[in-house]
A and B are shown apart, each in its own frame.
Chain A
Amino acid sequence: MKVIGISCFYHDSAVAYVKDGILQAAVQEERFSRIKHDPSFPFNSLGWILDENNLKLSDIDCIAFYEDPHLKLNRIKYSHVASWPNSFINYKRDLDSQNFKFNIKNFIRKKVGYKGEIEFNNHHLSHAASAFLLSPFKRSAILTIDGVGEFDTTTIGIGNNCDLEIIKKIKFPHSLGLLYSAFTYYCGFKINSGEYKLMGLAPYGTPKYTNLILENIIDIKDDGSYRLNMKYFDHLSGRSAITNSFEELMAMKRRAPESEISEFYMDVAASIQEVLERCVFKISKYVRNQTKIDKLCMAGGVALNCVANGKLLRSKIFKDIWIQPASGDAGGAVGAALLKSRQASGLKRNFGFMNPYLGPEFNDNQIENYLKQNKIPFRRSKNIYDEASDLLKEGKIIGWFQGKSEFGPRALGNRSILGNPLISTMQKDINLRVKFRESFRPFAPIILEEKAKEWFEIDVPSPYMLLVANVNESKKLNPIINDQKGFDKLKVLRSTIPGVTHVDYSARIQTVNNSSNHDMYQLLKKFDEKTNCPVLINTSFNVRGEPIVLTPEDAYQCFIRTKIHYLCIGSFIVNKSEIKDSELIKNDDWLKKFPLD
């Protein structure tokens, strides 16, 4: 049976293709449209998936949509009723938008030309399926936490072989995801995009406001269930994330986007991160007690909070945890397709490694043609791993473009910007001169799986960059000084790999083995041979506000706009110094194309 899963019309629209229960391909629309978090119908992604798999629309047995627009419309009506008359203006907007989704079947039939079965799924069930049905577990507890689906915001479930059951839930407007997003907004970042920044900002602050938040904003019971005090939130009416009362409680106005980040906002970030972690811990203990299962699968936007994930793993509440790498709404497309496939024809589960490299790939011929057609100076490398590792050792910054593109929000080594973590200035250089983003943001290490334990306090593989752990004591530099405040913490050299060590000694780790990513494994091996360091800085191949590059053209455009020194693309190397000055883009006007995130 051939099933296409689709998520769209909110954020991160995506398409997944499942054949006889096995996930074949998945891609996010933003990679084609070059619009970050693109919510529009994924025509490009659908077209690519059909072409790539030699399919015609008539070959598809079912299109599975990741949520139920009928239920969602009911929630919008409920929200309107509960917040009337404040919702007066936004209600019409939301209703119109939902009416559009309401007619998605007609939309798919008319605009796509598909005449077969179209099925709606529950939003959180799609998340749960995307986690459990791709996990290596035969039986597992399932926890999904996000902003909001139709009505649910947090669900607990049980997965058994191919069956899934939701047993407990918390409903809108009470939402951990929306709580975190409200603080993201309050700290001057963009909702549904800046949550990572808030998480990255937290270690600079002190959790001074934890009690204030727990006493006033959220009521967390011993079993982890919670309720928000709606006096401080305005997401029911859809007008804003927070109310004036929120600012009055915090005794400070919302930080203006792009303005200087004061210590106050760092402390707020630290506080909400602590509140989130406490709540997730309590929920997890409750899930363990209720289900009596020692394995956990997680999905939903909050499951991308890798700091909380890492602490949860180390707490040993569960023996093993598996987190869907595309935990946001894009992953819903995968879950919806798997659910349909399971219902219709049973599901073949391989209980192995979920391959996150599910998108388009370009072979050497295609890359060479592109470079020649555009008269770009390049050379074919005899050994790309050897040459690239030499360049990295010299301190050069490399754009690394190999194999299939990743599905999900992280670049996992196929569309990455790489740097040498041994160089102390590398973090600042890549942040300011390459990514054009805030200097406080940390970079993630990518490391040989077999050597991860030597360098970090982690004893399990982390192939999806979803776990945070501290640098090992033996790699920390002494004496450890902890009396700096705010961004002054950045001035201290904390470990032998300063490029990937955050100010609290933590790192968001990705481990690589030869079968999960052969190219990256070979590169890390070579780098290790030359430097005795099996770690590289790995950040997504894009600039701030831009989706991760997809094609050789995207990669080259990003390369000539930034201070990346070399582009290693397939078997070819492009040297920035060989490119004519007139080709390089030296002003920042193009940055305006990408809205701030």
Chain B
Amino acid sequence: MKFLKYYFFYGIKKLVNKTLGKYKKELVYSENNSYWEKD
């Protein structure tokens, strides 16, 4: 049950995020001059 809960919960969450582009933008190249992030 725990597995199903995680699977569907995050699956749905991903769909939402995909629509909003939250994760998508992190997985492609960027025009920015740097990919460094501050700690």
Chain B stretch 6-35: residues in CB contact (< 8 A) with chain A: 6-7, 10-11, 13-14, 17, 23, 26-30, 32-35
How many A residues have CB within 8 A of the partner chain? 31
Residue interface bits A71-88, CB-to-B below 8 A is 1, else 0: 000000100111011001
A223, B32: Cα distance in complex, Å: 11
| A227 B23 Cβ-Cβ under 8 A | no
| A227 B35 Cβ-Cβ under 8 A | yes
| A169 B36 Cβ-Cβ under 8 A | yes
A66 on the interface (CB 8 Å rule)?
no
| B11 A82 Cβ-Cβ under 8 A | no
A91 on the interface (CB 8 Å rule)?
yes
Q: Which residues of A contact B7 (CB under 8 A)?
A: 88, 91-92
Number of cross-chain contacts by CB at 8 Å: 66
| B13 A173 Cβ-Cβ under 8 A | no
Q: Which residues of A contact B28 (CB under 8 A)?
A: 229-230
| A226 B3 Cβ-Cβ under 8 A | no
Chain A stretch 209-267: residues in CB contact (< 8 A) with chain B: 219, 221-223, 225-227, 229-230
| B3 A169 Cβ-Cβ under 8 A | no
The A contact surface, by secondary structure, is: mixed
A166, B37: Cα distance in complex, Å: 11
Which of A80, A165, A174 lies in contact with B10, CB distance below 8 A?
A80
A433 on the interface (CB 8 Å rule)?
no
Which of B14, B30, B37, B38 lies in contact with A84, CB distance below 8 A?
B14
Which of A85, A92, A167, A174 lies in contact with B35, CB distance below 8 A?
A174
Q: Which residues of A contact B39 (CB under 8 A)?
A: 155, 165-169
Which of B3, B11, B36 lies in contact with A170, CB distance below 8 A?
B36
Most buried by A among B3, B28, B34, B39: B39
Q: Which residues of A contact B11 (CB under 8 A)?
A: 84-85
Q: Which residues of B contact A170 (CB under 8 A)?
A: 35-37
Q: Which residues of A contact B33 (CB under 8 A)?
A: 221-223
A171 on the interface (CB 8 Å rule)?
yes
- How many Å from the CB of A153 to the closest CB on chain B? 11
A227, B30: Cα distance in complex, Å: 9
| A225 B34 Cβ-Cβ under 8 A | yes
| B10 A84 Cβ-Cβ under 8 A | yes
| A171 B37 Cβ-Cβ under 8 A | yes
| A168 B38 Cβ-Cβ under 8 A | yes
- How many Å from the CB of A178 to the closest CB on chain B? 14
A95 on the interface (CB 8 Å rule)?
yes
A264, B23: Cα distance in complex, Å: 36
A84, B11: Cα distance in complex, Å: 6
A81-B35 contact in complex given A92-B3, A95-B3, A173-B27, C-beta closer than 8 Å: no
- How many Å from the CB of A415 to the closest CB on chain B? 39
The 6 closest A-B pairs by CB, nearest first: A225-B35, A166-B39, A81-B14, A168-B36, A225-B36, A219-B29
Known: A226-B35, A227-B35, A286-B36. 20 other contacts (CB 8 A): A80-B10, A81-B10, A81-B17, A81-B23, A84-B10, A91-B7, A95-B3, A156-B36, A165-B39, A168-B37, A168-B39, A169-B39, A170-B37, A171-B37, A221-B32, A223-B33, A225-B36, A227-B30, A229-B29, A230-B28
List 20 A-B residue pairs with CB atoms under 8 Å apart, sorted by A's residue number. A81-B10, A81-B23, A82-B23, A84-B11, A92-B3, A92-B7, A95-B3, A156-B36, A165-B39, A166-B39, A169-B36, A170-B37, A171-B37, A174-B35, A223-B34, A223-B36, A227-B29, A227-B30, A229-B28, A229-B29
